[in-house]
């Protein structure tokens, strides 16, 4: 009951009916919680609103029971959380973008209404629209690791996992600075490596943020802070991707499939092999495949 009240904090009504602990009114639904333990959902959005609490219970229960999720606090979905996520790690073309965002518990509902919760199936257009709605007021940090720097680091022997860990740690640090002296109840990282490995990657870093840090796969379904970070990162990635496409003079494909090999081969022939350093992650197998393709294309044309 307390959790539900916190969730609707921004929508609480000043007056409560007799026998009620609290009442709240959202756009489509009136919620009244009674001392007896009963909660009434009324209005057009009632079914949907009540369903939220059934679903939430289902999601939170296994999360709390699974040790793999590093014993997340059972109520983490209702806390004030810094979430972080990254984009671009599996794409041959384009940078890696890592974002961290802070969502206070009283803003959880607002973000969900903006459609922030499930970003996996959002179109690029929707990503841009939501990013536009939140970027000016939501405390966040965006870090872009451009291709040239990425290739330098990779060639110096740094693994992609280490790059990601360092970027997450930095982004979280920036957000902690932005919101200080306020502190989040928890920090939730969309898991790309086990906790032990993540902190291993960070050895030697000046400042390592460990306090209240939790890891979970599919963390964007657990707290909208991770979903917001994911949306902001994807939006930044898309903007950079557009710029790189302009630089290349053709639309770059995402991912790391055959279309990518063909495009990379074309760029090698048109712009020289050195150009890829600025737009691609050179250590991917695509570089070699593109090289072979380019050689055979050259032969056929001569
Ligand atoms: Mg992720």
Write the pLDDT tens digit of every residue in 241-286: 999 999 999 999 999 999 999 999 999 999 998 999 999 999 999 9
pLDDT at 14: 84
- How many angstroms does the Cα of residue 98 sit away from the middle of ligand 1? 9
- How many angstroms does the Cα of residue 179 sit away from the middle of ligand 1? 23
Which residues are paired to 142 by β-bridges?
Answer: 99
- How many angstroms does the Cα of residue 12 sit away from the middle of ligand 1? 34
Residues contacting residue 46 through CB under 8 Å, at least 6 positions apart:
28, 29
Residue-wise pLDDT for 163-187, tens only, equals 999 999 999 999 999 999 999 999 9
Q: Which residues of the chain fall below pLDDT 50?
A: 56-68
Say whether the peptide bond before residue 181 is cis (omega within 30 degrees of 0).
yes
Q: What is the dihedral of CA 74, 79, 80, 86, to 10 degrees?
A: 40
- How many angstroms does the Cα of residue 189 sit away from the middle of ligand 1? 8
- How many angstroms does the Cα of residue 69 sit away from the middle of ligand 1? 15
- How many angstroms does the Cα of residue 283 sit away from the middle of ligand 1? 21
3-state secondary structure of 110: helix
Half-sphere exposure of 175 (CA within 13 A, CB side): 32
- How many angstroms does the Cα of residue 85 sit away from the middle of ligand 1? 5
- How many angstroms does the Cα of residue 201 sit away from the middle of ligand 1? 17
For residue 247, CA distances in Å to 15, 146, 215 come to 60, 14, 37
- How many angstroms does the Cα of residue 106 sit away from the middle of ligand 1? 24
Whether this prediction's pTM lies above 0.85 is answered by no
Cβ-count burial of 26 within 10 angstroms (0-12 exposed, 13-18 middle, 19+ buried)? middle
pLDDT at 264: 97
Is residue 215 within 8 Å of residue 195, measured between CB atoms? Answer: yes
- How many angstroms does the Cα of residue 193 sit away from the middle of ligand 1? 10
Q: What percent of the chain has pLDDT over 70?
A: 93
- Record the tokens describing residue 264, joined without a space: 């990379």
pLDDT at 135: 96
Convert 219-233 to b/e letters by CB count within 10 Å (16 or more is b): bbbbbbbbbbbbbbb
């Amino acid at each position: 009951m307390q959790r539900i009240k916190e969730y609707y904090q921004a929508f609480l009504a000043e007056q409560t009916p007799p026998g009620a602990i609290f009442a709240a009114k959202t756009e489509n639904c009136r919620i009244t919680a009674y001392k007896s333990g009963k909660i009434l959902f009324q209005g057009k959005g009632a079914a949907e609103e009540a369903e939220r609490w059934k679903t939430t219970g289902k999601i939170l229960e296994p999360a709390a029971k699974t040790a793999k999720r590093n014993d997340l606090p059972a109520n983490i979905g209702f806390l004030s959380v810094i979430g972080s996520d990254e984009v671009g790690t599996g794409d041959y073309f384009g940078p890696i973008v890592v974002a961290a965002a802070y969502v206070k518990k009283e803003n959880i509902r607002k973000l969900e209404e903006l459609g922030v919760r499930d970003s996996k199936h959002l179109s690029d257009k929707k990503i841009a629209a939501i990013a536009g709605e939140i970027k000016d007021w939501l405390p966040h940090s965006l870090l872009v690791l451009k291709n040239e720097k990425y290739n330098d680091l990779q060639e110096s022997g740094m693994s992609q996992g280490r790059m990601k860990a360092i970027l997450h740690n930095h982004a979280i640090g920036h957000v902690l600075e932005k919101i200080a002296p306020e502190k989040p109840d928890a920090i939730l990282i969309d898991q790309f490596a086990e906790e032990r490995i993540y902190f291993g990657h960070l050895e030697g870093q000046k400042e390592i943020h460990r306090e209240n840090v939790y890891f979970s796969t599919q963390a964007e379904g657990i707290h909208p802070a991770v979903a917001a970070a994911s949306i902001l990162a994807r939006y930044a990635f898309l903007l950079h991707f557009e710029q790189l496409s302009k630089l290349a003079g053709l639309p770059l494909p995402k991912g790391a499939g055959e279309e990518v090999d063909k495009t990379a081969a074309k760029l090698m022939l048109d712009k020289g092999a050195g150009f890829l350093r600025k737009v691609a992650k050179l250590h991917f197998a695509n570089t070699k495949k593109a090289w072979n393709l380019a050689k055979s294309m050259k032969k056929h044309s001569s």
